Amino acid sequence: MHDLMNVSYDTQIPNNVGLSSDKRVLKALEKWHPGYINWWNDLIPDKFQQSLVYLRTAVSVDPKGWAKFDYVKMPDYRWGVLLAPQVEGRTIPCGEHAGEPAWQEVPGEYRNLMKRLIVIQGDTEPASVEQQRFLAITAPSLYDMRNLFQVNVEEGRHLWAMVYLLHKYFGRDGREEADDLLRRSSGSEEAPRMLGAFNEETPDWLSFFMFTYFTDRDGKMQLESLAQSGFDPLSRTCRFMLTEEAHHMFVGETGVGRTIERTCQVMKENGIDDPYDTDRIRALGVIDLPLIQKKLNLHYTLSLDLFGQEVSTNAANAFNAGIKGRYQEHRLDDDHKLTNDTYTVWDFEDGQVVRKEVPALTAINMRLRDDYTRDAAGGVGRWNKIIEKAGIDFELKLPHEAFNRKIGVFSDKLFDPDGTLLSGADYDAGEKGWLPTHADGDFIQSLMVQVTEPGKYAGWIAPPKVGIDNKPGDFEYVKLAMA
């Protein structure tokens, strides 16, 4: 009997799933492993591959063991297969099988649906590493560079998690899908990543922070709903991934917060009270608050699109089958079947944005998106506190869900951030005030300079309040390899 808590290092692949006694899967993963290492090595610039990065590695899935910090070269990072401990007697939490014992194997009738969900989730993990591959070159500090690499190696581990499920439970199809996860590539013409938002480059650090705040939060919500899956290995995998995903939320929220803090500080130091005095503010080398609002508008709305159509039969099927639950399903107090319930969604009827009751089952996506919006609003509130504390009259807002949408009921219409329907001419006139322009992008790009002295930060961002792993301010989070 293998140890289900501590990570075993007796195979090339650290794991707590007893790989050493599961020869078939071990062999398949070992065959997949070199391709993964090649993918990683081709991706991140060599200088950073050779650097020592202060990373956390899980040595156990017990709370005390999953955050062990040490210097490691990224290609030597111990990517592994880690599942949260099995809960004795766990039952399927939702849908028509609610209350039956959770599945330890994939039920044949749901095999394809399940495989597709795992492949879509798996595809996003390497995609974000690809999107962020050049950011280290303009890291505003060693602290931020370390955080970027931590996000990257953990996205890599999340790919491992999904590949394990594919190899273990989906036979030859699964192996082919796992190979395809390395074949597709973000932004590629021939073989792009599956979801649109994961084919855009992450061009600068503010975009990275916005991405980790808004887009990784979609990932978090998807993981939350998969953690409720009746397929127990998927649930356990996602539960452990969520503990890692929390770090990505942290990088996003504090990154944007520190950017705002620095802007407010420089405005105050220079006697600027008007947040719209953008030329003067930009001349001081910090990012004006209206531009931060525009970046927020863009990343939030791109992320909303990731939730799919407001009314979806696929989502209904996945819930009904017990494959995917709702956010915190176990805390919801209803019959967990939703057969006769309704849910209010946005719709567009007779030229009007309206709220409409639809069968709750078909509104599963919308419900998760609403939970997402609530979750995302919390951080925006914190950012506003920073602005308020500095005494600047400005408030960041999440735009209306109709704004800038490419998927769903609003996708073929034009709206302003308040959700007012606009003519093409009005939209064109307003757009540059709502979404980042190329000129805005160029300005942000002009601030992106690498800072590699321990404890120093680029001029556009404030230092963090506390270090990683309680380290002091001038801690050398990355020992850069000399070229």
Partner 1 sequence: MTRPLKQHLIDPEICIRCYTCEMTCPVEAITHDDMNVVVDASKCEFCMDCIPVCPTGSIDEWRVVTAPYSLDDQFAWDELPAQEELGEGGEAETGLEALDDAMAALLAEAHAGAGGKAKAPATASKPTVNLYTLGKPATAKVTGNFRLTADGSDNDVRHIILDFGGQPMPVLEGQSIGIIPPGTDDAGKAHLPRLYSVSSPRDGERPNYNNLSLTVKREPQGLCSNYVCDLRPGDEVQVTGPFGATFLLPSDPEAELLMICTGTGSAPFRGFTMRRQREIPRNTGKLTLVFGARRPEELPYFGPLKKVPEDFMHKLFAFSRLDGEPKHYVQDKLRDERERVAALLQSPKAHVYICGLKEMEQGVEEAFRDIARGVGLDWAALRDTMRDDGRYHVETY
Task: Kindly state the smallest distance separating residue 251's Cβ from partner 1, in Å.
Answer: 9
> Of 2-41, which residues contact partner 1 (CB under 8 A)?
6-7
The Cα–Cα gap between 252 and 271 comes to 29
385 binds partner 1 (CB under 8 A): yes
- Where are any strands of DSSP class E within 236-368? 342-349, 352-359
76 binds partner 1 (CB under 8 A): no
Task: Kindly state the smallest distance separating residue 305's Cβ from partner 1, in Å.
Answer: 23
The Cα–Cα gap between 443 and 200 comes to 19
Select the residue interacting with partner 1 from 47, 374, 406, 432 (CB under 8 A): 374
Pairing of the two strands 342-349 and 352-359: antiparallel
292 binds partner 1 (CB under 8 A): no
* Residue 140 CB coordination number (10 Å): 24
Interface stretch with partner 1, choices 28-36, 137-145, 355-363, 378-386 (CB under 8 A): 378-386
Interface stretch with partner 1, choices 132-140, 319-327, 428-436, 463-471 (CB under 8 A): 463-471
264 binds partner 1 (CB under 8 A): no
Write the CB contacts of 87 (distance below 8 Å, at least 6 apart in sequence).
none
**Phi-psi group of 328: left, alpha or beta (phi > 0 → left; psi -120 to 50 → alpha; rest → beta):** left
Closest among 298, 296, 262, 297 to 447, alpha carbons compared: 262
Helical segments of 306-363, H only? 313-321
253 binds partner 1 (CB under 8 A): yes
Please say which residue, 70 or 100, places its beta carbon nearer to partner 1.
Answer: 70
The Cα–Cα gap between 120 and 196 comes to 12
Give 398-422 as a 3 state SS string: CCCCCCCCCCCCCCCCCECCCCCEC
Select the residue interacting with partner 1 from 67, 358, 407, 480 (CB under 8 A): 67
Select the residue interacting with partner 1 from 49, 60, 342, 373 (CB under 8 A): 60
Task: Kindly state the smallest distance separating residue 248's Cβ from partner 1, in Å.
Answer: 8
Task: Kindly state the smallest distance separating residue 119's Cβ from partner 1, in Å.
Answer: 26
Please say which residue, 352 or 470, places its beta carbon nearer to partner 1.
Answer: 470
379 binds partner 1 (CB under 8 A): yes
The Cα–Cα gap between 192 and 229 comes to 28
455 binds partner 1 (CB under 8 A): no
Interface stretch with partner 1, choices 38-46, 124-132, 344-352, 461-469 (CB under 8 A): 461-469
Task: Kindly state the smallest distance separating residue 220's Cβ from partner 1, in Å.
Answer: 8
The Cα–Cα gap between 304 and 402 comes to 10
Please say which residue, 227 or 287, places its beta carbon nearer to partner 1.
Answer: 227
Judged by DSSP in three states, 357 sits in strand
Please say which residue, 300 or 434, places its beta carbon nearer to partner 1.
Answer: 300
Place of tokens 């567009």: 348
Task: Kindly state the smallest distance separating residue 347's Cβ from partner 1, in Å.
Answer: 27
Task: Kindly state the smallest distance separating residue 4's Cβ from partner 1, in Å.
Answer: 14
268 binds partner 1 (CB under 8 A): no
**Residue 289: CA count within 13 A, CB half-sphere:** 28
Please say which residue, 166 or 234, places its beta carbon nearer to partner 1.
Answer: 234
Write the CB contacts of 312 (distance below 8 Å, at least 6 apart in sequence).
362, 364, 365
List of residues contacting partner 1 (CB under 8 A): 6-7, 59-60, 63-68, 70-71, 242-243, 245-247, 249-250, 253-254, 374-375, 377-379, 381, 385, 465-472
